Amino acid sequence: MDSSDSYSEDEALLLLDKRHSVTESLFRLPYDLIAHLERAAVHSELGYPDLAASDSYRALLLCDECANAGFEYHEQALETLQIRSRDGVPDVLHRPGTILNHDDLTGGVEALNIDPAADEQQRLLQIAHLASIRCYRSLAISLLLCGCLKSAFEFCTRGLAAAPDDEELLQAKEYIEKMARGRLKVDNIVEINDLPDQGLVRREIYPWNDHEPNRFSPDTLNFLNGQLRDVAPKCEVRVTELPTLLESASLTDDYGIIPTNKQLGLFAKEDIAPGETVLFEHSLLAANNRLKETLCDACSTELPPLGDNSPVVGCPECDDIMFCNEECLSRAQEEYHPAVCDKEIETVAKDVDPREKTSALYLHLLARALAMSVTQEVHPLELKEVKYIWGDFLPSRANAVPHSLNAPPPPIWTLPFSFQYNIAGPLHVLEKMDIDIYATLADYDLWVLNTLYSKFRGTASARVNSRTGHPEVAAVHPLWCLANHDCDPNTQWEWGGRMKLWCREKRIGGRPGGIKAGEEVLNHYCDIELKVYDRREWAKGSLGGWCMCDRCRTEAAAEARNGLGQANGSSLETLVNGVH
Among residues 26, 60, 41, 43, which one has the least CA distance to residue 131? Answer: 60
> 277 or 531, which is more confident?
277
Per-residue confidence band for 447, with pLDDT thresholds at 50, 70 and 90? very high
pLDDT tens per residue across span 24-45: 999 999 999 999 999 999 999 9
Could you tell me if 230 and 419 are in contact, meaning their C-beta atoms sit under 8 angstroms apart? no
Per-residue pLDDT, 191: 84
SS3 507: coil
pLDDT given for residue 492 in this prediction: 94
Mean pLDDT of 255-272: 88
What's residue 102's pLDDT?
Answer: 36
DSSP structure string for 328-362: HHHHHHHHTGGGTTTS-GGGTT-S--GGGHHHHHH
Name the band, by pLDDT with cuts 50, 70 and 90, for residue 255.
low
CB 579 within 8 A of CB 475: no
pLDDT at 113: 64
Report, as an integer, the average pLDDT of 442-452. 98
What is the Cα gyration radius of the chain?
26
Give the pLDDT score at 182. Answer: 85
The one-letter amino acid at 518: G
Q: 5 pLDDT exceeds 60? A: no
At residue 408, the pLDDT reads 54
The tens digit of pLDDT for each residue in 280-318 reads 999 999 998 877 668 899 998 888 887 778 899 999 998
Given a cut of 80, whether residue 380 has pLDDT beyond it is: yes
Q: Which residues are registered as beta bridge partners of 422?
A: none
- What does the pLDDT read at residue 103? 37
pLDDT at 547: 87
Q: What's the average model confidence in pLDDT over 432-436?
A: 96
pLDDT on residue 73 = 97
Instruction: Report pLDDT for 318.
Output: 87
**Host H or E run for residue 16:** helix 9-28
Which of residues 405 and 575 earns the better pLDDT score?
A: 405
Tens-digit pLDDT profile for residues 62-114: 999 999 999 999 999 999 999 999 988 999 998 553 333 333 333 333 345 66
8 A C-beta contact, residue 527 and residue 535: yes
- Mapped onto helix, strand or coil, the DSSP state of residue 14 is helix
Q: Residue 417's closest CA among 359, 367, 348?
A: 359
What letters, b where the CB count within 10 A reaches 16 and e where it falls short, cover 190-213? beeeebebbbbbbbbbbeeeeeee
Return the pLDDT at 523. 93
The yes-or-no verdict on residue 580 having pLDDT over 60 is no
User: What is the model's pLDDT at position 567?
Assistant: 40
Position 250 scores a pLDDT of: 61
Q: For position 294, what pLDDT does the model report? A: 80
The per-residue pLDDT for 2 is 38
Residue 307: other Cβ atoms inside 10 A: 8
265: nearest Cα among 518, 502, 554: 518
pLDDT at site 399: 65
- Phi and psi of 290, rounded to 5°? -85, 135
Q: What is the pLDDT of residue 56?
A: 98
**3-state SS track over 58-107:** HHHHHHHHHHCCCCCCHHHHHHHHHHHCCCCCCHHHCCCCCCCCCCCHHH
The three-state secondary structure class of 162 is helix
State whether the Cα torsion 154-112-129-443 is positive or negative: positive
Q: Give the pairing type, strands 322-323 and 313-314.
A: antiparallel
pLDDT of residue 400: 65
> If you count them, how many residues does the chain have?
580
375 pLDDT higher than 90: yes
What integer is the mean pLDDT of 173-198?
87
d(CA 450, CA 221): 25
Cα–Cα distance, 315 to 336 (Å, whole number): 13
Q: What is the per-residue pLDDT for 533?
A: 87
What is the per-residue pLDDT for 108?
A: 36
pLDDT for 106: 33
Residue 421 gets which letter from DSSP?
I
3-state helix, strand, coil in the chain (%, to 5): 45, 10, 45
Report the alpha-carbon distance of residue 347 to residue 98 in Å, rounded.
Answer: 47
pTM above 0.85, yes or no: yes
- Average pLDDT in the chain: 86
DSSP per-residue codes, 225-258: HHHHHHH-TTEEEEEEEEEPPBSS--TTTT-SS-
Residue 521's region, left for phi above 0, alpha for psi from -120 to 50, else beta, is beta
For 335-366, how does the pLDDT look when each residue is reduced to its tens digit (9 = 90+)? 999 999 999 887 787 778 888 888 999 999 99
Whether 140 contacts 156, CB under 8 Å: yes
- Partners of 281 in the beta sheet? 499
Residue-wise pLDDT for 465-503, tens only, equals: 777 777 888 999 999 999 999 999 999 998 877 899 999
pLDDT at 572: 31
Give me the amino acid identity at 47: G
Q: What is the pLDDT of residue 520?
A: 97
pLDDT digits (tens, 9 = 90+) for 510-523: 899 999 999 999 99
C-alpha distances out from residue 230 to 99, 233, 277, Å: 66, 6, 12
d(CA 292, CA 347): 9
* Candidate from 268-277, 385-394, 397-406 with smallest mean pLDDT: 397-406
The residue that leads in pLDDT, 7 or 438, is 438
pLDDT at 100: 34
